[in-house]
Structure formats: C-alpha cells, structure tokens
Structure 1
Amino acid sequence: MDEDFSRSGHLDGFARDNLPPRESWPALDLAATGLSYPERLNVVSELVDRHLAEGRGDRLAVIGPEENWSYAGLAETVNRIANVLTRDLGLVPGNRVLLRAANTPMMVAAYLAVLKAGGVAVATMPMLRAGELAYPIRKARIALALCDHRVVADLQATQALVPEFSTIVTWGDGALEGLMAQAGYENFTAADTAQDDVCLIAFTSGTTGEPKGTMHFQRDLLAICDTYGARVLKASPDDRFIGSPPLAFTFGLGGIVLFPLRIGAAIVLPEKTAPADLMLAIEEHRASVCFTAPTAYRAMLAQIEGRDLSSLRICVSAGESLPKATFEAWQAKTGLPLLDGIGATEMLHIFIGAPREKIRPGSTGLPVPGYEAKIVDEAGEELPDGTPGRLAVRGPTGCRYLADPRQARYVENGWNITGDTYLRDADGYFWYQARSDDMIVSAGYNIAGPEVEACLLIHEAVAECGVVGAPCPERGQIVKAYVLLRAGFTADAALAKALQEHVKATIAPYKYPRAIAFVTSLPKTPTGKLQRFALREMARAEAAAAP
C-alpha cells in the first residue's frame, strides 16, 4: 500500500520528513493480512472513546495502587491532559513528547493523551540516566516532556545537555494536576490524524551504543491488537491484564495497554512488578492475563508455594528465549502453558507465537496470522527446513527507522531481518538458535555490550575492556566484563565492586556487569579490533566449568 502523506494530520512534519525512503521500507499488503482501517484514524478513538459511545463507559478500565478508573474516568483524564498539552503547552499535531514514569495509571493516561492530541509519544524507562536520555531527545527533536515527579531529576539534568529540551511538566506533585483541573477541559476532540501518521517513536537498546528510533503509525497500534491480540492471545473483555515490562518497551505497551483497551478489558498496574510483587497483585486483583519474561516466570516458580494464582488463564512469555524446562515447570505447577513469542521494537510486537491449542514446547511457534516468516542465508536466499539461518519476517508492521542509515541493514528485499538465528521445521514451527549480533539479553532486558564497555572505559582504573553475555540459568544471560587494568590498580573484589557501582551510577543500573574478570590481555584482530566472539566463547567455557 502506498502512503499519501498529503493526507497527513500533522502540522509539524518532522516525523514524516525523517521516515526512511519509501523504497527501503518492508513490503506491506495490508489487505492480504485481513486488516482494513479508515484513512482518517486516531487510535485513541478506537481504544477508549468507542467504548463510551457503545455504552461501556462504566466498565473498569484501570486498576492502580491508589485509584481505579472506569472507561469514562480514563477518557476524562486523557481529555484533560490532551487539553493541557494543546491549550497550555502549545502542542500541535506531529510534535514529539517524551514520557518518563513507571507503569502507573497516569503514565497510561499521558501516553493516550499525547496520541489523542496528534502528538508523537516517545516513552523512556525511568532507570535511564541523563546521558542516556539526551540521545533520544536530540534524535527526535523533543522540546516537551511529561514526567512523574519522583523520577524527574535525571530528566532535569538532561536540559543542560540539550538546551532545546525546554519544558518538563510533572505529575504527582500537583503541577500537571493543577492544569488538568481547569474548567472545560473534560472534553477533547481527537486530532484528525491519518492512519499512516507517525504516533510513536520507540527507541531500541542499540547494538553499538546508539539506539535506533523505530517509527510506528496510528494503524500499527491497532494492527498488533487485531493480529496477535485477536488471533493468538484471544482474550476476552472480562479479562484483567497484568505484567512487568515497562511501557517504554513495546512488549509492555502492547500487552499491558493496547490489547486490553482494544477489547474493553481491564489493566492492573501494581506499584511494584518484581516476581513476588507480581504474584501478590495477581492474587489481590484476580488478574487473568500475564505478560512477562521467562526469567520472571522462573523466579515466580521458586516462590509459588502458598500463592493463589488460580485467576490466571493466559500467560505470555517474551523478551528472551523461553527454555523448555521453564515451560514444563510452569505448566506442572499452574496447569497453564506459557505462550512463547518473539517480537521486536522494529515490528512493534510479537510476530511469531502459537495459540494455546498449537503450542509445541521448546518452539517459539508459528507466524502470527497476518505475518510471514522464513529462514534465509547471507545472500537472502531461503534455506530448506531444518537449516539454521537468519530470520526474515514481514506483515502489517515493520521497520521504519528515524533518519538512520541502518535501515538498509534491517530491511532486505522487502523483508525485516531481525538479527536472530532460527530454524524452521517441516511443520512450519520456528525454533530459536541464538542472537545474530552482540546484544546481551538478560532477564528480558536488551543490553548493548559496547555501551557498557564505553561506560567502564571512563573509569580511571580501566585501560581496556570487553563486555559480552555469559550463560546464566536464572537470567538467561548476565553481563560479563573482561577488564584490563591500568598500572597501579589492584585486581581484587573491592575494585570489581567499585566498577559495578560506577556503571550503575552512570547508565541504567540493570546494565551493570554482574561478573567481572580481570585479564592481562584481550583477544583482538590483527588490526586491533576487539574479538567479542572470542570473549563469548571464553564466557561459555567458564560457565560450563563452574561448579
């Protein structure tokens, strides 16, 4: 389908103008997927306002630690924030707005308000530090942010790094709430956006230390609901959705917000989402659909005795490879299979994953109806079944990087090349083999080894270092750093601890190296480049030899 941007509802054309060239987009035949959306589309009209128009305003929409909102209550909160954005803060359709908070009711409402006002949401994790926040703010040319007051300090520090980032409005301290309370702010007419207007820029973790901004259209947010949500998940309006992925991850956005709102179900947002807290919230609120990573399911298994998880009926696992042992242990304890799946920020959500009646333990599953997948070699030629190769996928969503030459590496001949090595069996099931790049996947978090290396290298004790993923039965992988010290420093436990604390204080704490090995040299090519594959082999051998 050819996009005609003359129909755009954006007054600020930045997002549209920074899409990659049309010929470098993945192939898309929306009609072939069985999906159809009107030319004029604002996704919030479908996710929220439609329920009021059809008489479901009294249905429970959001369950939070301190407040519960019906669909009517959610709609009014969204409208009030949208009015603040447009009337008080000067937002026009197409402006980007940074969002920073944990998974809270106000974060959901702020997200939806940006979309309803025709803005482009750029959500960020509250663990990111000022230096990490500066990159997406510069890249997406962001001037305005809405932020939970409890995590505003690092965002404020970013203003010294990016002077054009001029306005931060906080909630929880009364600032945003005071503006929202103004008379006449309870109603808001959704911006007249086109189905192919960009409404979301989601940043990847990045394999080189520079995240990529993935651009998604209004229709894309509905497409994942109407493919994976409707055809694989198959939840009902009576379900209550819960999960741990941050809303800055598209896995969390889809699973915890978009899928339930599309069908008029309820969202449960506990204050804490560590495995023990997640189980308590499932018990308390009788949650029935859970989205989290395999690591969390493993952790819950260790604490499940005495817990009542009988309300659960659908459990989705993604973010990292699901071990067959975890699948079997969870099913043995709960009677429920885990719905494995693979998605990508570039694809917005899960594109391979079997419905409950077609699960094969150990396999990621089948292409989600509406998507196609195949295994290709380095030349892009399809490989026979049973042969490992690069995973290629296409469907109603796909990669459109924000002004980034790496678009040409992700999209080849109209197919998205995900960076994963898979094989397909004779029955069409896809089996994960490994990541094809240097990304470390630890407890569901994507961590770029080069970024951790760059952080360690600014410490006075570090002369050189290499960072890779090391196998870990609990977390899938851990970040392991091989460090060559400068003269005058002692390789001991105290210095290892100091380096770990340095990383935690400089970049997001989850990225810190849980293992540090002090070495006298690092493997390099003849031209002096670090050989990370050699370090990965060392890490695997050391893990295998460990007692």
Structure 2
Amino acid sequence: MGDPHRQGRPDLSASAHVDTFARDHLPPADQWPQLRFDLPELHYPDRLNCAAELLAGPPADRPALRTAGDAGEVWSYGRLRAESDRIAHLLTADLGIVPGNRVLLRGPTTPWLAACWLAVLKAGAVAVTVLAQHRPHELRTVCELARVGHALCDARVVADLAAAGAPGLRITPYGGDGADDLLRRPAPDGPYPAVPTAADDVALIAFTSGTTGRPKGCLHFHRDVLAIADTFSRHLLRPRPDDVFAGSPPLGFTFGLGGLVVFPLRAGASALLLEQAGPKQLLAAVAEHRVSVLFTAPTAYRAMLAEPGGHDLGSLRRCVSAGENLPAATWRAWHERTGVRIINGIGATELLHIFVSAADDAVRPGTTGVPVPGWQARVQDAAGVPVPDGTPGLLAVRGPVGCRYLADPRQREYVRDGWNITGDTYVRESDGYFRYVARADDMIVSAGYNIAGPEVEDALLRHPDVVEAAVVGRPDADRGQVVVAHAVLRAGAAPDAEALRAHLKGELAPYKCPREIVFLDALPRTATGKLQRHRLRPAPGLAAELHDDQA
C-alpha cells in the first residue's frame, strides 16, 4: 500500500504517462495545499487506474446505467465494461492516443459519454469533459489551455466543436451515421488491460470559471476520483447496490461526474442518465424509475415544489443539494412534502466534490454542515489567522484532494499556507457547524452555476456596437442571483437588447447569458478610471430583505 505520509507531500510517483504535459504543468511543489489521508480507506496503492477500480467489483449482470424515454435501456456492468474496453482499444490502436494525451469529451449525459470517459482513463489518457452547451469560443479556449489533441464528441453537437477551430484538434464523433463514427469502427475483441497509471498521475482536467473571465483548469489525480467516493459518498450518502442515482448536473461539472458516475459505480449501484433533466423531467424520472438518490441544486428543489403534485416520490431516500446556498425554507418545504432530509453541501471544482456537509439526524437547516470525514475546515481572516466562532471569514479546507491549477498564477490565491481558500465567506458556529454568508469574490452564482462577470463582459465587447460593459449579479428569490449586464454603446447605435442577446447566445453557454440588459451613457468609475461595480449592484438592504425572505 502507498505510504500516506509520503502521499501527503507533492513528491510524485513514477508516471505512466508518455505525454507528460499535465505533470509538467502542475504547480510548483511549494504552492500545493497540504494533503491529508487520515482515513484508512484513503491509503491507495502507488499504481492505480481509477476507471478499472470503478468497474472491477460488481457482477456482470447487475444494472449500471439506465436511460429514460420510449427508447430507454439498461446497461449492465458487463456491457459497460465491454463498451469502455472496446472504446479504449480504438483510442490506442486506431486513433493513436498514448498515456497522458488530453482527450476532450463533449455530449449530452448518456451512457456513451460515461463509457468514453471510462475508456479514456483506462487508456491512461487525461479526460477533459466540457458541456454540450459550450460555444465555439469557450471550447477553443479550453483546447488551447489544455493543449487538447483529440476529442470524442456526440455526433449531435459536433458542429460547435468543429467551428471552434482549435489548432491540431482531431474530432471523432460517436453515435452518428458517418463511416468515421467511433462506434462504427472495427475494434479488437476482448478486455482492454488498463494502463497501470500512478495514483498521482493526472486523470482529468476540470475547468472552472475564474473571476477574471479566464477559465482555470483543475488537475485531478486517479486517487482523487476514488477519494471523493471514499469520503463524502461512503460516509454521508452511504449508498447501497440497489440504489438508483439521478440528477440534473451534467458530467462536464464535477458535481454531476461524482453524483452520476463515480459514486454509483464505486458502490456497485446504478445511475439513470437524463439528457433533459429539468424539474419536470426529474419528477417524472423519480416516479417512473424509482430513483432513490437525487443530485440537484436548490433552484431545482424549489421549482419541483412549485410543480403540481401527483408524482410518486416515495422511492427517494437521499437528496443532495450543492452549487449554491440551500435556504432553510426550501429544506423544510421539501422535507414536509417528501419526508426526505436534503443533504446540503459545499464543494468546488478545485477540490472535485463536497467537503462540508451533514446527513440524517446531523442535518441542521440553514447551515451547510461540518467537515466531511477525511476533511478539515476552518474560518480565517485575510491574513490566514483563524477567527473566533460566530465571526464571518474566509472558508479554508484541506483533505485528500487539493487545488492544483494548470499553469495558472491564481494558484497562489487559492492555496495559502497549505489551505484551500474557496472564495466563500462563512461563519463557524460554536457547535462546529458552518453557515454560509456570501461569496467573497465577484463570482455570480445562479441556479448552481458559477458565472464570471468578466467573461460575459468580454463577449458583449465582441459586439461591434458595445464600447463598454459591466456585469453583476442581482439577488433573485428563485435562482439565488441572476446576471445583469450594463452596456455603453457607440455613438449613434440604437439600444437593442434582443440583438445583444442573440449575439451572446452565439458566444456563451445559455446559463451565462444575462437575464437583463441595461443601457447606460457611461459606467460608474473612480477618478482614476477604475470601474465601480458595487454601484451597479442592488443596495445592501435589498439583498438583506431577500435573504430574510428565503430564510
């Protein structure tokens, strides 16, 4: 077994990667957070391929993945192993992918996307999963930052990826009718021997929005993928082999990757993968497929409560909420309707999944919870000094997974003195529970999505009529916040909000597009020309009133 003390420091095992880009672009050793492996189950062997581990245990005939609708089907663990092995054979023998190559994965949430993800990891390559919603400009940025050379893309959404024009990117569609389709290519029969990657070889690069608008690539190891299952899932979810998981987050978000692939497979359970997972679809899916474990954001729980009754939700035994703050009123209303106590939690792409939470009798509505077993958390001031209980400060955490940005100077901002600083303001109560206060940066959190205002501003400024732009979040009872854009137009240009919206829909994923566009003659600035975003935000009293209403 691996030495947990050695694992806690950034000295790396011998890599199985032939293409060493990901390892070469890890942060310097002195910028890593302190890693902790305090639980026996976190002492992983030095050689570890997480995809092989996730598929190793369950019997071949046990259900693994399910789909909904008239063409719904059930994939057994035997089929999932066979399909991922077949794709891994094609990746290496046909496409020439070698361990360490970055492979972009793009498509709706389907068993084929999950099989491709597992195959990439089995082949020792690095998975870069993005959203089917992402637009060409966004996709090109990701490909350039991660130097992606290959992409496996659902045939239905190939056009935007091709339009990205990423240099040197080879796109292989899957699920289509073309002769070049991945699933139509002849492949060697039989099992694929998973590449014996190091436990600390990079398995995936997950991109998150940065407050500057430039996305940050988060490098996660093979052992990290198992660690989130062996902490949050094992100790709080406590899944059973007969559980059926479902939820709204796509696999391009680590919230969805964990909840819909990693956690159910680690437990030998199954997951219902929904291409459309709005509140109405979730309610129908729970009733029809007897879903027992549900992952979604507070916005969706509120929306499901607003839907007419009649859906049988009696199969639910675990409901998980993350992505934004869960108001106590929403928790109580859901508990009254279903009898299920929502497991609230806070996670981060930088840390892969949830690290503060509570379940069952330990749940206290209005708080996030306590550190998940295997994790530590504290509240500190800007200088890194812990503050007294009851005093707002910055949430700092550490555990078996830590922030490692892909060649990004913002590593020094997120990791300070060995702690990961999440960008959230919290209060630790005297009984040890952590209560959310607000984001500590300019990130807009809307319906569980993190949206960087500068990224939306850059997209607005690519319209020929816009000469200045400022984007802020406005409190919203349903979504937590909504995006509001302020635009200054060139002389003579007519204010046309619909034209700007149409432009933005071609530049940004839909969830980033402003709900409101305000036209101004000038943006508020200081005497030195610095933009004063705070003057564009609602008055603090309005935000406080909204918070009180939600509580």
- Name the TM-score, length of structure 1 as normaliser: 0.95
Contact (CA 8 Å) 1:169, 1:175: kept in 2 or not?
Answer: no
CA displacement 1:69-125 (0-9 Å, x = unmatched): 100010000000000000000111111100000111100000000011111000000
- Percent same amino acid at aligned positions? 57
* Secondary structure of residue in 2 paired with 1:7: coil
**Equivalent of 2:103, from 97, 110, 116?**
97
Mapped partners of 1:244, 1:225: distance in 2: 19
Cross-structure match for 2:410? 406
1:318 equivalenced with 2:325 (yes/no): no
Task: Check 1:222–1:229 CA distance in 2 against 1; reply closer, same or farther (3 A cut).
Answer: same
2:54 alignment partner in structure 1: 47
Name stretches of at least 5 consecutive residues in structure 1 with no aligned partner. Answer: none
1:466 corresponds to 2:470? yes
- Paired residues for 1:239-250 under 5 Å: 239-250=243-254
Indicate the RMSD between aligned Cα atoms, in angstroms. 1.8
Say yes or no: does 1:169 pair with 2:163: no
Shift of 1:184: 3.0
Q: Aligned pair in 2 of structure 1 residues 518, 199: CA closer, same or farther (>3 Å)?
A: same
Q: Residue 10 of structure 1 aligns to which amino acid in structure 2?
A: H
CA shift, 1:180, in A, is 6.0
Give me the whole-angstrom Cα distance separating, in 1, the residues matched to 2:471 and 2:540: 10
Aligned to 1:331: 335
Gap change, CA 1:94 and 1:174, over 3 Å in 2: same
Q: Aligned in 2, Cα 1:441/1:540: closer, same or farther, shift over 3 Å?
A: farther
Which residue in the other structure is 2:27 paired with?
20
From 45, 56, 73, the counterpart of 1:38:
45
SS of equivalent residue, structure 2 residue 143: helix
Structure 2 distance, partners of 1:174, 1:42, is 32
1:135 aligned residue (135, 141, 146):
141
Give the conservation status (yes or no) of the 8 Å contact 1:33–1:369.
no
Q: Is 1:71 the equivalent of 2:71?
A: no
How far the C-alpha of 1:490 sits from its partner, in A, is 3.8
Aligned residue identity for 2:520: V
Shift of 1:527: 1.9
Residue from 357, 364, 371 that aligns with 2:368: 364
Structure 1 contact 439–446 (Cα < 8 Å) conserved: yes
SS in 2 for 1:30: coil
Q: Is the 8 A contact 1:295 1:475 kept in 2?
A: yes
Once the two structures are superposed, what CA deviation does each residue of 1:15-54 show, in whole Å capped at 9, x if it has no partner? 1111001111110132457521111101122111232xxx
Which amino acid counterpart does residue 102 of structure 1 have in structure 2?
A: P
Aligned to 1:156: 162
- 2:367 is aligned with what amino acid? S
Cα-to-partner distance string for 1:464-509 (whole Å, 9 max, x where unaligned): 2211000111111100112223322344xxx122222221122112
CA distance in structure 2 between the partners assigned to 1:264 and 1:9 by the alignment? 27
Mapping 1:148-547, distance limit 5 Å: 148-159=154-165, 162-173=166-177, 175=179, 182=186, 184-491=188-495, 495-538=496-539, 541=542
- Deviation track 1:210-258 (CA, whole Å, cap 9, x = no partner) reads 1000000000000000000011111211100000101010000001110
Q: Which amino acid aligns with 1:158?
A: A
Cα distance in 1 for residues equivalent to 2:52 and 2:525: 55
Aligned pair in 2 of structure 1 residues 60, 175: CA closer, same or farther (>3 Å)? farther
* Inter-partner Cα distance in structure 1 for 2:175 and 2:345: 35
3-state DSSP of counterpart to 2:233: helix
Letter in 2 for 1:206: G
For residues 3 and 530 of structure 1, do their structure 2 counterparts lie closer, same or farther at Cα, with a shift above 3 Å needed?
closer
1:6 CA drift (Å): 5.0
| Separation of aligned partners in 1, 2:309 and 2:129 | 36
Whole-Å separation in 2 of the counterparts to 1:3 and 1:26: 9
| In structure 2, distance between residues paired with 1:364 and 1:108 | 30
Task: Give the secondary-structure state (helix, strand or coil) at the position aligned to 2:506.
Answer: helix
**Structure 1 residues 113 and 385, CA, compared in 2 at 3 Å: closer, same or farther?**
same
Gap regions ≥5 residues in structure 2: 1-7, 547-551
Residue equivalent to 2:549: none
The SS at the match of 2:425 is strand
Shift of residue 538, structure 1, vs aligned partner: 4.9
The one-letter amino acid of 1:502's match is H
Shift of 1:544: 6.7
2:129 equivalent in structure 1: 123
From the superposition, tell whether residues 306 and 163 of structure 1 become closer, same or farther in structure 2 (CA, over 3 Å): same
Whole-angstrom distance in 2 between the partners of 1:282 and 1:482 = 41
Residue deviations 1:418-442, cap 9 Å, x none? 0000000001100000001111111
Find the residue that maps to 2:350 and give its secondary structure.
Answer: coil
Residues 1:61 and 2:64 aligned together: yes
Contact 1:471 1:539 (C-alpha < 8 Å) held by counterparts:
no
Q: Distance in 2 between matches of 1:90 and 1:298?
A: 47
CA distance in 2, matches of 1:544, 1:464: 31
Q: Which one-letter code corresponds to 2:106 in the other structure?
A: R
CA contact (8 A) 2:9 2:34 kept: no
Is the alpha carbon distance of 1:34 and 1:458 closer, same or farther for their aligned partners in structure 2, counting shifts above 3 Å?
same
* 2:5 corresponds to: none
Whole-Å Cα distance in 2 between the matches of residues 460 and 158 of structure 1? 20
Q: 1:207/1:149 Cα in 2 relative to 1: closer, same or farther (>3 Å)?
A: same
- Cα distance in 2 for partners of 1:22, 1:180 equals 44
Is the partner of 1:533 in helix, strand or coil?
helix
Q: Is the 8 A contact 1:12 1:92 kept in 2?
A: yes
> What is the number of residues matched between the two proteins?
536
- Secondary structure at 1:81 match in 2: helix
Whether the 8 Å CA contact 2:64–2:265 is kept in 1: the answer is yes
Q: Distance in 2 between matches of 1:268 and 1:184?
A: 29
- Equivalent-residue separation in structure 2 for 1:92 and 1:116 (angstroms): 11
Give the whole-Å Cα distance in 2 for the aligned partners of 1:376 and 1:11. 41
Query: Are the aligned partners of 2:162 and 2:171 in contact in 1 as well (CA < 8 Å)?
Result: no
Contact 1:26/1:416 (8 A) holds in 2: yes
Superposed displacement of residue 12, structure 1: 1.0
2:114 corresponds to which of 108, 121, 130: 108
Is the CA contact (8 Å cut-off) linking 1:41 and 1:194 kept in structure 2?
yes
